[in-house]
Amino acid sequence: MTISNSLRSQPDASGHFGAFGGRYVAETLMPIILELEKVYRDAKQDPAFEAEFEELLRTYVGRPNPLYYASRLTEALRAGAEPGKGAKIYLKREELNHTGAHKINNCIGQALLARRMGKKKVIAETGAGQHGVATATVAALFGMECKIFMGAKDVERQKPNVFRMKLLGAEVIPVISGSQTLKDAMNDALRHWVSNVHDTFYIIGTAAGPHPYPELVRDFQSVIGKEAREQIVEIEGRLPDMLIAPVGGGSNAIGLFHPFLDDVDVKMIGVEAAGEGLTGKHAASLAGGASGILHGNRTYLLQDEDGQITEAHSISAGLDYPGIGPEHSWLHEIGRVQYMPITDDEALASFQKLSALEGIIPALESAHAIASAEKVAPTMDADQIIVVNLSGRGDKDIFTVASALGVEI
Amino acid sequence: MTDRLAARFAACKSAGRAALITFVTAGDPTVAATPAILDALVSGGADIIELGMPFTDPMADGPAIELANLRSLGSGTKTKDIFHLATTFRARHPHTPLILMGYANPMLVRGSEWFADQCRQAGVDGVICVDIPPEEDAELGPALRAAGIHLIRLATPTTDAARLPAVLNGASGFLYHVAVAGITGKQQAAQAAVEEAVKRLKAATDLPIAVGFGVRSAEQAAAIGRVADGVVVGSAIVDIIGSHGDAAAPFVQEFVAALRGALNVNSPHFRETAA
């Protein structure tokens, strides 16, 4: 049962999370967005929909993935902490999913909705290519035609993922407009959608965009938090004290946080990409942005005084976006979640540290969350518990990291 | 305040022709070059001017207008420059309706009341905001109405009979029929579909109906002008500015005159005088 003052009952009927969210799209797209909302409401009530989603997550994605106690990381941080300090760090192993990240959870759910709406073509935007690969994967699984919009610069930087998408049968369309990165890929995906709305479903990759996308992406990703909750109770007999997850658009973070929002004793940190630092080029929309409207929703954005969107920067392509999902903007404003900026250099250090200490190469996105845990754990008591979302694996990032470290591969 | 939009549509109607509505992006290629281009639109015979507010992320626009946005921002156009262009246009052309068209974020960044007040002071008659559908009217609609500025709504091929009342509720000035489900630019709507849509819209509202998106030639403008109250031409003009830059004004004027000539042919008065 949802209590009336629950933090888990957002958005409201018009798709707003407090002052954020909403449906800011061209009139051409309004009818399909309203239809999607109706189809999603029906699907939520349909036990067969949920059963098929869960079955695919189990047999195709490989869920549930483990909650792993990172004892060597925990001990290493305790060694530098005051006596009695240094919380236990658990990792939610989303990187063990098929395709190597949390993205696939959402893609399965949206592909099921596309099929329910009778759409045989899907499109998606992608930055580093992780969401593109996940979308191309489910398109292959469901026998759907797939187009992936990707900034021309990212096509050049992420050749292995471009090849993966093509192997999976997708057409990769390089976007040459604007800064030729993720936000421009999203612009062109929207342009394509508005012109092909009759037969095409847009699989948005994060918990952002016009209502109902932030809600349905969150719901599909909430499997992360639901599993983590059961697992930690089974292992430790109680809820964690702290959750930490990286936030670009914020789908893995909201997926972990949402099932815990009403548990007032569970604190939460969303980790924003501070790039070269908040005074330089960064991608921290909450720490360095203001409320505005882009890509279908009202949310915090990096923008100038005239409302022009400014370019984001992060070493992690998945966090390199000038906005954030609207539910995070709301959770930030009401103070339920604390958002912490982590720089490129801090993330790079944690990327190496987790690899060497635990034998797990994290995605650069996830490395931001590890860096945050490294700061927070030593300030907490040794009997306290942190769950960090290890949202993706780092194989895709080895070229970027090598180049940042001055190593030639 | 005299309603310049209503007066102009009435004048065109009594002349027996559709109104010619032309779009250019403010500050394309530069703020300094824009007044001459606006004057060329008027001299060429445009009835109503749509002045685009450039945005870094013009999601509803095709390549022509997207490039115009980037040219404008690249040359340093600021929001205050756009209102200055509007103010000086109003001084030079006291009777030609001027509409600002653009995206929500630059309009709302200082608050809707600030924006509506700037529009009122600059003599702007109406606003078209691409990404504020009726569902989010509260963001901009109330402030514009309080300031006496028309909020011009868009109806599209996907706006069905069930949805149309929502679009019309709060719409004023005219109704902008987007002829193709898509972005601004090259796709062309079938004439039969345009006629069908205009008929459907006219049955639902007394507002004048203007048709735009994909109207590129004098022939198309003439055909649409036979059924609609207004014809909007944007990308084709913006392409001329893209090609000629600072020197675009005379080329713009020549093209607009050709469009206007094609619309005049529909007019019974014009036929009489021509005969």
Structural domain spans, chain A: 16-59+102-217, 63-100+222-404
DSSP percent split of chain B into helix, strand, coil, nearest 5 = 50, 15, 35
CB A271 within 8 A of CB A371: yes
Q: B197: distance to nearest CA of chain A, Å?
A: 14
Q: Which residues in chain A are closer than 8 Å to B213, comparing Cβ atoms?
A: none
A391 is a catalytic site residue: yes
For position B275, what pLDDT does the model report? 42
Cβ-count burial B151-186 (b if 16+ within 10 Å, e if not)? bbbbbbbbbeeebbebbbeebbbbbbbbbbbbbbbb
Between the CA of residue A295 and those of A323, B5, B129, what are the distances in Å? Answer: 9, 31, 14
Pair type for strands B230-233 and B19-25: parallel
Query: CB-based contact (8 Å) between B169 and chain A?
Result: no
Spatial distance between the Cα atoms of B152 and B19, rounded to a whole number of angstroms: 16
Spatial distance between the Cα atoms of B113 and B63, rounded to a whole number of angstroms: 32
Say yes or no: domain A16-59+102-217 is CATH 3.40.50.1100: yes
Q: Is A63-100+222-404 in the same CATH topology as A16-59+102-217?
A: yes
For position B2, what pLDDT does the model report? 67
Considering the entire predicted model, what is its pTM? 0.96
Contact A31 B73 (CB under 8 A): no
Contact A293 B60 (CB under 8 A): no
Q: B108: distance to nearest CA of chain A, Å?
A: 8
Of A215, A258, A205, A219, nearest to A37 by C-alpha is: A215
Say yes or no: domain A63-100+222-404 is CATH 3.30.70.20: no
Q: Which residues in chain A are closer than 8 Å to B135, comparing Cβ atoms?
A: 14, 22-23, 30
Amino acid found at B47: D
**How many Cα atoms within 13 Å fall on the side-chain side of residue B167?**
30
Spatial distance between the Cα atoms of B192 and B210, rounded to a whole number of angstroms: 16
Across the interface, of A25, A27, A308, the residue whose CB is closest to B56 is: A308
Spatial distance between the Cα atoms of A319 and A222, rounded to a whole number of angstroms: 20
Across the interface, of B109, B157, B183, the residue whose CB is closest to A307 is: B109
Between the CA of residue B215 and those of B20, B184, B210, B218, what are the distances in Å? Answer: 11, 9, 12, 9
Spatial distance between the Cα atoms of A382 and A77, rounded to a whole number of angstroms: 10
**Nearest C-alpha in A relative to B181:** A195
For A135-168, the pLDDT digits (tens) are 999 999 999 999 999 999 889 878 889 999 999 9
- Strands of the sheet containing A121-126, edge to edge, are A171-175, A145-151, A121-126, A200-202
Per-residue pLDDT of chain B (275 residues; tens, 9 = 90+): 469 999 999 999 999 999 999 999 999 999 999 999 999 999 999 999 999 999 999 999 999 999 999 999 999 999 999 999 999 999 999 999 999 999 999 999 999 999 999 999 999 999 999 999 999 999 999 999 999 999 999 999 999 999 999 999 999 999 999 999 888 887 888 899 999 999 999 999 999 999 999 899 999 999 999 999 999 999 999 999 999 999 999 999 999 999 999 999 877 766 555 44
Return the SS3 of A125.
Answer: strand
Contact A26 B131 (CB under 8 A): yes
Q: Which residues in chain B are closer than 8 Å to A309, comparing Cβ atoms?
A: 56-57, 105
Across the interface, of B103, B105, B155, the residue whose CB is closest to A27 is: B155
Q: To which residue do tokens 């685009």 refer?
A: B52
Pair type for strands B150-151 and B175-178: unpaired
For position A87, what pLDDT does the model report? 98
Spatial distance between the Cα atoms of A384 and B189, rounded to a whole number of angstroms: 64
For B84-122, the pLDDT digits (tens) are 999 999 999 999 999 999 999 999 999 999 999 999 999
Contact A177 B63 (CB under 8 A): yes
Contact B57 A309 (CB under 8 A): yes
Helix (H) / strand (E) containing B155: strand B153-155
Domains with residue ranges and CATH for chain B: 4-268 (3.20.20.70)
Interface A:B, Cβ pairs < 8 A = 113
Q: A188: distance to nearest CA of chain B, Å?
A: 7
Contact A308 B55 (CB under 8 A): yes
CB A315 within 8 A of CB A404: yes
Contact A308 B130 (CB under 8 A): no
Spatial distance between the Cα atoms of B195 and B189, rounded to a whole number of angstroms: 10
Asked whether the CA dihedral A192, A198, A201, A204 is positive or negative, the reply is positive
Interface test with B, best of A14, A16, A23, A24 (most B CBs within 10 A): A24
> Would you name the residues of B annotated as active-site residues?
50, 61
CB B29 within 8 A of CB B73: no
Q: Which residues in chain A are closer than 8 Å to B139, comparing Cβ atoms?
A: 293
A125 is a catalytic site residue: yes
- Which residue positions in chain A have pLDDT lower than 70? 1-4
Query: CB-based contact (8 Å) between B131 and chain A?
Result: yes
Q: B107: distance to nearest CA of chain A, Å?
A: 8
For position A2, what pLDDT does the model report? 47
